[in-house]
Structure 1
Amino acid sequence: MGKPLPCVAEPITWLTNVTGETQRDRHLQAFFFRRGLPRLFGATSFYQILRGNIMRGLLLSLLAFGLVGTASAQDLRPVKEAMTAADIEQVLAEAGLNPTMSKDAKTGDPVATGNADGVIFIVRAVECGGRPKACQQLVMFANFEMRRDITDRDFRIVNSFNDGNKNGRAYVLEGSDQIGVDYVIDLTGGVTGEHISARLGKWPNIISTFREQMMEAYAGS
């Protein structure tokens, strides 16, 4: 381990030489050079470089503190782990999805009917408990009647949609003349209101994308 620099009890006047360095620069460079670090040459003051590094360190520290403060503020945002019928109605209305609320006849769990660009869809709340009932998942789905028997082409359309889209899941209702698409919003572990709104905002586009792919597949047939 190297010896520490000696303390200087009296002030020292540093003189600038013709290269733009100062005696202090040269002294510090010699100190680092003796410890195996490369000597810096050129017109740039070694002291300026050292001072710049210190200032950058302070700036990074302030930025880090600011980022920590921002993260802490985000951590304090309210989260939801479950939603009541009133909560579901509110978020659907705020998303412009025109909800009409009802209950499942057997379980009493909340059910909503909504409208996305003229397409009627259903929202079923599942994983419910408590009084009033609060539910951890929302399952949204829209079914389409084909008014004919389901064909292999319908299955190919469904598979193609599922392969190409990370949001939503298309399906065939066996034993019926319907195909559809669904979408799940999961609140398990707690999510923010912004997260719920962002997820709901994707639902109309999921429906329209599925309809477009169906129409394109049957265009001209």
Structure 2
Amino acid sequence: MTTRVAHKGLQLVSTTRQRTLALADTLSQTELDRSPAPGKWSVGEILDHLIKSDGVYYEVIRELFQLRQAGKEAYIRYGFKDINASVLGIPKSSIGFFEIPFGMFNLCVPRTIRTFLMTSRWFPTEAPDVARPRPGRSGEMLRRALNNAPDELETLFESHPGLKYDDFKFYHPLFGENNLYQLLQILTFHESIHHKQIQKTILKIQ
């Protein structure tokens, strides 16, 4: 993956994030905090989930760069025990037993299809504990964090110029093996799905 392709991925992240901010731009603090139904996330919680998801994947990218700088293979593999997520209603306590079946799924199903399935509502998932939102965060804090994140990511890439980004690989138990550009695509696909959730939530609370 060339620097130009990496820039394309960063542009995708930035464009998707601006769409997120636009959706919530006019919401008051009361509207951000209002849940559409018991047990359902408020818009503020959806936004905080995106912030926490950024933190998870940005840290993966940092670790990949650090591995390469140390002269090691830039490869990180996560299992279900690392993300503690659930999919298709499988309890988190049991999801580890499905590591091999999902591994076969990742080997046999084309990347575009499995990414679409895993980031769509057709494959219901429960957020990993590390990305569970914090209720009641102020709109100012949420918007500032969301707005700053793409710039932080761009700075991270710019601090490692001239790298062959195809050499950096991250294995996710649901998405399989991905290079850095593909990882950025997954981030934006995931965020776009939450755009629909935000829109539906706004309709229900207003």
**TM-score, scaled to structure 2:** 0.30
Higher relative CO (CA 8 A, sep ≥ 6), structure 1 or 2?
2
User: When you count helix as a share of all residues, which structure comes out higher?
Assistant: 2
User: When you count strand as a share of all residues, which structure comes out higher?
Assistant: 1
